[in-house]
């Protein structure tokens, strides 16, 4: 039996680990292998202690009932990487450059809009690393960027992080994956170790304060070609995540793409998107087709 007393070492039994593993997989679709055992034990210990419950069994029993969504949120928080930084999960930006943008551009051209605009939404944008990363990748690596108009919109529920995003200054940790030539080209040093992204890029991103679960508020977004919604849906309970998925669906144009975080899946959330295999991984499409 695992008790969370301060003097005793906290360790899950094999049976407890299995139960937790199965429960987390069932709820989120995320697997963690037995190889991550030590890491998981530490994180669960933090959850149990933080909850005030006397033991793993009591904590897990309360978690399992499901009537306190904040418990699963806290667990998910512990078990996933939450940090934001430039070029995070950039294989998805690779996917954007190829094959997503060429496909979208071909569709726009067929519809008589060879110059776009292509509309991209980053939500949640947090402190801005994601939309600014997209901007730099497009400017540096998309051959069509001089010929085609691209709108980048960014949204978050938190006005403080939005203020920081608009301001656009970052420290070394956030910037460590930015190629040095790009740092020199697109940022200027503001204080020791902090850099601010240049005005032209800051000015090119439109920021909005929006809650993805709020259907009325999300109505401001429509006809987007690509939405990056990474590492937020996983924290929502059943009904909130369903509503968020519906709102994201409505923000896309038919044929538009939704990118989730690399460990996330729509499989526990909503069947309304069509999964699409890209070379870099799975993305989701709003279906095209008759609306009868």
Partner 1 sequence: MTGVTGPSDAGCVLVVDDAATVRMYHSRLLAGAGFHVEQAANGLEAVESALVRPFDLYIVDVNMPKMDGYACVRALRGETVTTTAPIVMISTEDRPGDAERAYRAGANLYLVKPVDAERLVRVATMLAGPPAGARER
Partner 2 sequence: MALVRRDSTTAPDDDDPQVLGRRLTDPDAEIRRRAALGLDGVAEAVPALLARVPVETDPAAREAVLTTLAALDRADVAAGLVPHLASDDAALRTAVSGALAAMPASVPALLPALLANPDHDVRIMTAMVLADLPHPGAADWLAGIVATDTHPNVVAAAVDALLPMAGPGHVEVLAAVPARFPGDPFLRFTIDAALPALREAPA
Binding mask 202-241 toward partner 2 (x if CB under 8 A, else -) reads: -xxxx-x------xx--xxxxx--------------xx--
What whole-number distance in Å separates Cα of residue 22 and Cα of residue 37? 14
CB 272 within 8 A of CB 245: yes
Strand partners, 191: 194
Residue 276 C-beta: closest distance to partner 1, Å: 8
Residue with tokens 């006809």, as numbered in its chain: 223
Binding mask 216-255 toward partner 1 (x if CB under 8 A, else -) reads: ----------------------------------------
Choice between 140 and 158, CB closer to partner 2: 140
The piece of 80-88, 102-110, 258-266, 268-276 that touches partner 2 (CB under 8 A) is: 268-276
282 binds, among partner 1, partner 2, none (CB under 5 to 8 A by kind): partner 1
The Cβ of residue 188 has, within 10 Å, a number of other Cβ atoms equal to: 12
The piece of 36-44, 146-154, 169-177, 178-186 that touches partner 2 (CB under 8 A) is: 146-154
Candidate residues 40, 47, 135, 178; the one interacting with partner 2 per rule CB under 8 A: 135
Residues 6+ apart with CB under 8 A from 161: 125, 126, 127
Choice between 144 and 276, CB closer to partner 1: 276
Q: Which of 236, 181, 213 is nearest to 27 (CA)?
A: 236
Candidate residues 277, 279, 290, 292; the one interacting with partner 1 per rule CB under 8 A: 277
Residues 6+ apart with CB under 8 A from 238: none
Residue 48 C-beta: closest distance to partner 1, Å: 23
CB 121 within 8 A of CB 221: yes
CB 10 within 8 A of CB 2: yes
CA angle 135, 284, 78 (to 5 degrees): 80
CB 89 within 8 A of CB 280: no
220 binds, among partner 1, partner 2, none (CB under 5 to 8 A by kind): partner 2
- Is residue 67 classed as helix, strand or coil in its secondary structure? coil
Residue 282 C-beta: closest distance to partner 1, Å: 6
Residues 6+ apart with CB under 8 A from 51: 59, 62, 71, 74
Residue 142 C-beta: closest distance to partner 1, Å: 26
Please give the backbone phi and psi of residue 12, each rounded to the nearest 5 degrees, phi first: -75, 145
Candidate residues 78, 211, 270, 285; the one interacting with partner 2 per rule CB under 8 A: 270
List contacts with partner 1 (CB under 8 A): 22, 25-26, 29, 31, 265-271, 274-277, 282
List contacts with partner 2 (CB under 8 A): 1, 15, 18-19, 22-23, 26, 55, 57, 61, 64-67, 117, 119, 135, 138-139, 145-153, 200-201, 203-206, 208, 215-216, 219-223, 238-239, 242-243, 246-247, 249-250, 270-272, 287, 291-292
């Amino acid at each position: 039996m695992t008790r969370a007393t301060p003097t005793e070492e906290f360790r899950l039994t094999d049976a407890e680990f299995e139960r937790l593993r199965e429960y987390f997989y069932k709820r989120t679709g995320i697997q963690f292998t037995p190889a991550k055992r030590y890491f998981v034990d530490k994180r669960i210990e933090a959850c149990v202690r933080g909850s005030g419950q006397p033991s793993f069994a009591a904590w897990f029993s309360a978690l399992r009932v499901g009537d306190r969504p904040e418990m699963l949120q806290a667990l998910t928080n512990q078990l996933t990487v939450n940090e934001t930084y430039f070029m995070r999960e950039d294989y998805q930006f690779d996917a954007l450059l190829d094959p997503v943008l060429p496909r979208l551009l071909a569709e726009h051209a067929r519809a008589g809009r060879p110059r776009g605009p292509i509309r991209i939404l980053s939500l949640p944008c947090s402190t801005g690393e994601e939309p600014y990363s997209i901007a730099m990748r497009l400017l540096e690596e998309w051959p069509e960027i001089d010929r085609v108009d691209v709108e980048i919109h960014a949204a978050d529920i938190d006005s403080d992080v939005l203020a920081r995003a608009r301001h656009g200054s970052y420290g070394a940790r956030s910037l460590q994956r930015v190629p040095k030539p790009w740092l020199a080209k697109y940022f200027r040093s503001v204080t020791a170790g902090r850099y601010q992204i240049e005005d032209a890029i800051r000015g090119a991103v439109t920021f909005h304060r929006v809650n993805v679960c709020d259907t009325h508020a999300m109505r401001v977004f429509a006809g987007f070609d690509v939405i990056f919604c990474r590492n937020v849906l996983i924290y929502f309970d059943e009904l909130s995540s369903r509503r968020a998925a519906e709102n994201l669906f409505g923000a896309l144009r038919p044929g538009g793409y939704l990118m989730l975080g690399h460990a996330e899946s729509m499989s526990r959330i909503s069947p309304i998107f069509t999964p699409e295999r890209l070379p870099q991984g799975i993305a989701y499409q709003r279906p095209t087709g008759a609306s009868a």
